[in-house]
């Protein structure tokens, strides 16, 4: 992976690689310049194109890999790349910020608030709650959230940890750690 990719972009790449290892419904395409992941969900939030080298000549291959809208990740200040995308007819839906937490160096402190608890998702009941909370939080359909995340949960891939946060014993937030 080129050193020019920021930590968040590189983390995205690592996550996409793990999803591709799960297999169906995830399908990956990779060459020296691009990496793509298609989920089968007709929503751009669940299909990803990562540009490793913005001077790539594989644009049409990458775009033709998708039969649905997709997100594209690249360095945000690359004006040449933005112009190139626009010249190919691609549009920018939004700029998004990401958050990354390095769990190896982060020191967890237990909450002093007894009204807050965090529970790891362990079974079908838990994952249904997790899907409901996540769908509400992202304002996306439960079916899209389920179609994307349920195969990850069922894969038992130890690199993904699903959690639910409860406030006064009411499910209030959801997270997935990688």
CA–CA separation, 92 vs 111, rounded Å? 40
Where in the sequence is the domain holding 36, given as residue range(s)?
7-87
Does residue 74 sit in the same domain as residue 129?
Answer: no
CA–CA separation, 13 vs 117, rounded Å? 31
Does residue 15 sit in the same domain as residue 75?
Answer: yes
Q: What is the mean pLDDT of the chain?
A: 80
Residue 4 pLDDT grade (very low, low, confident, very high; cuts 50, 70, 90): very low
**Residue 116 main-chain phi, psi, to 5 deg:** -110, 130
Using DSSP, state whether 9 is helix, strand or coil. Answer: helix
**Global pTM?**
0.76
Residues 143-178 have pLDDT tens digits of 999 999 999 999 998 889 999 988 999 999 898 888
Residue 98 falls in which region: left (phi positive, over 0), alpha (psi -120 to 50) or beta? beta
Does residue 81 sit in the same domain as residue 126?
Answer: no
Task: Give the residue from 71, 87, 103 where a domain finishes.
Answer: 87
Residues 71-125 have pLDDT tens digits of 877 666 667 777 777 777 776 655 555 555 565 665 555 556 778 888 899 999 9
Structural domains of the chain, count: 2
Does residue 77 sit in the same domain as residue 23?
Answer: yes
Residue 105 lies in a domain: no
Does residue 21 sit in the same domain as residue 74?
Answer: yes
Q: In this structure, how many other beta carbons lie within 10 angstroms of the beta carbon of residue 32? A: 9
Does residue 15 sit in the same domain as residue 82?
Answer: yes
Q: Mapped to the 3 state alphabet, what secondary structure does 47-107 carry?
A: CEEEECCCCCCCHHHHHHHCCCCCEEECCCCCHHHHHHHHHCCCCCCCCCCCCCCCCCCCC
């Amino acid at each position: 992976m080129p050193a020019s990719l920021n930590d968040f972009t590189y983390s995205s790449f690592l996550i996409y690689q793990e999803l591709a290892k799960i297999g169906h419904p995830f399908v990956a395409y990779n060459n020296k310049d691009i990496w793509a992941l298609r989920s089968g969900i007709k929503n751009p939030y669940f299909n990803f194109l990562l540009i490793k080298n913005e001077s790539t000549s594989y644009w049409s291959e990458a775009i033709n890999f998708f039969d649905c809208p997709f997100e594209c990740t690249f360095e945000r200040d690359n004006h040449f790349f933005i112009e190139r995308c626009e010249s190919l007819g691609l549009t920018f839906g939004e700029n998004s910020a990401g958050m990354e937490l390095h769990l190896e160096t982060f020191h967890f402190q237990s909450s002093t608030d007894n009204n807050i608890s965090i529970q790891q998702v362990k079974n079908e009941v838990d994952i249904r709650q997790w899907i409901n909370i996540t769908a509400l939080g992202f304002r996306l359909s439960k079916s899209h959230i389920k179609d994307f995340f349920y195969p990850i949960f069922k894969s038992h891939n130890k690199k993904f940890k699903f959690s639910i946060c409860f406030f006064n014993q009411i499910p209030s937030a959801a997270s997935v750690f990688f």
